[in-house]
Amino acid sequence: METNMASPVERKPEWLKVKLPGGDNFKDIKQNLRSKKLFTVCEEAGCPNIGECWSKKTATVMILGDTCTRACKFCDVKTGNPKGFINHNEIEDTANMVGIMGLKYVVITSVDRDDLPDYGAGHFANVVSKIHEVHPDVIVEVLIPDFLGLEDHMHTLAKSNPFVIAQNIETVKRLTHPVRDRRASYETTLKALEFYKKNYPHITTKTSLMVGLGETFAEIKETLSDLREVGCDIVTFGQYLRPTLRHLKIERYYTPAEFEELKSISYAMGFKFVASGPLVRSSYKAYDYLDHLRAQGVQL
């Protein structure tokens, strides 16, 4: 299927409309978090899948503050210079949040911190290690910065032994700039994924692509081939949604059938697990990978 001509986008299609999250479990968790002044990325980013994920006892937590040193054109996170500040209470707070929410699977992510000597790798590792210490049965996935591809810092993170390491390639090679900040690169993400798989083969590697930015199916296939070449295990696809008029415009909306085709293509290329759909985000259905492994008889 090569029908990827850009078309004017006026309104969201029906398949992007979702019900507001609700239910006693959702409300109880939210009230408990607020009473302790704890927040999840799920809430802050207005994720449409929050109700489903929380009901499955999974959530995403952002560490290293709310100010990113990079300025990707698809992202609405605040950009600036935190000037080396780290809230070390995040280590304990994140472990507490896991307990309060009764999580079985937690995704730890962060802004980019190019202002720190180790780009935040040490703090990341400390958070993961604390969760392992306090909640040894909880599965930890990390969605990390590229740490500029510096191996010492990547070792620091990997030695904390998360179950999954994700570093998002975001888009196809041709569109990397202007989609991503100039300090991020297609090649650095590939090298990072290759590094983790080569040096820590027991850790699952993962990445994510947004679609609807003007890429073609041929370019997506090329990206998938590059990802398989470096041993990437998991890939997710989701529709790019424009946060504000200051951000990149949506070139077109992919249909649910096209997302299914991307999933079929990816599995045929050898990926271990694929999540693909209009509302899929990089951490969405992370827990489904565990079900996939259990179905194959893998002991966790």
As a residue count, the chain comes to: 300
Q: How far apart are CA 206 and CA 187, in angstroms?
A: 15
Q: How far apart are CA 297 and CA 292, in angstroms?
A: 9
Q: How far apart are CA 17 and CA 281, in angstroms?
A: 15
Report the pLDDT value the prediction gives residue 91, as an integer from 0 to 100: 94
User: Strands, DSSP E only, in the chain?
Assistant: 58-63, 67-68, 78-79, 105-110, 139-143, 164-166, 204-211, 234-239, 273-276
- Does residue 218 belong to any structural domain of this protein? yes
- Does residue 8 belong to any structural domain of this protein? no
pLDDT in tens, 18-43: 665 555 566 666 666 666 555 565 55
**237, β-bridge pairs:** 209, 276
User: Per-residue pLDDT averaged across 196-204, rounded?
Assistant: 97
Report the pLDDT value the prediction gives residue 4, as an integer from 0 to 100: 45
- Does residue 126 belong to any structural domain of this protein? yes
Amino acid at 39: F
Backbone φ and ψ of 63, nearest 5°: -115, 180
- Does residue 12 belong to any structural domain of this protein? no
Q: How far apart are CA 137 and CA 131, in angstroms?
A: 9
Could you tell me which residue, 50 or 156, shows the higher pLDDT? 156
> Tell me, what CATH number does 58's domain have?
3.20.20.70
Amino acid at 57: K
- Does residue 113 belong to any structural domain of this protein? yes
Tokens of residue 116, six digits: 């720190």
User: Per-residue pLDDT averaged across 263-270, rounded?
Assistant: 98
> Could you identify the residue written with the tokens 């009230």?
31
- Does residue 65 belong to any structural domain of this protein? yes
pLDDT(84) > 70: yes
User: Per-residue pLDDT averaged across 262-280, rounded?
Assistant: 95
Of 57, 28, 60, the closest CA to residue 44 belongs to 60
Name the DSSP class of 264. H
Q: Provide the number of structural domains found in the chain.
A: 1
Q: How many Cβ atoms sit within 10 Å of the Cβ of residue 118?
A: 16
Report the pLDDT value the prediction gives residue 157, as an integer from 0 to 100: 98
Domain encompassing residue 220:
19-295
Q: What is the CA radius of gyration of the chain?
A: 18
- The helix/strand count (H/E) of the chain reads as 11, 9
- Does residue 262 belong to any structural domain of this protein? yes
- Does residue 300 belong to any structural domain of this protein? no
Q: What is the mean pLDDT of the chain?
A: 86
Q: How far apart are CA 131 and CA 169, in angstroms?
A: 27
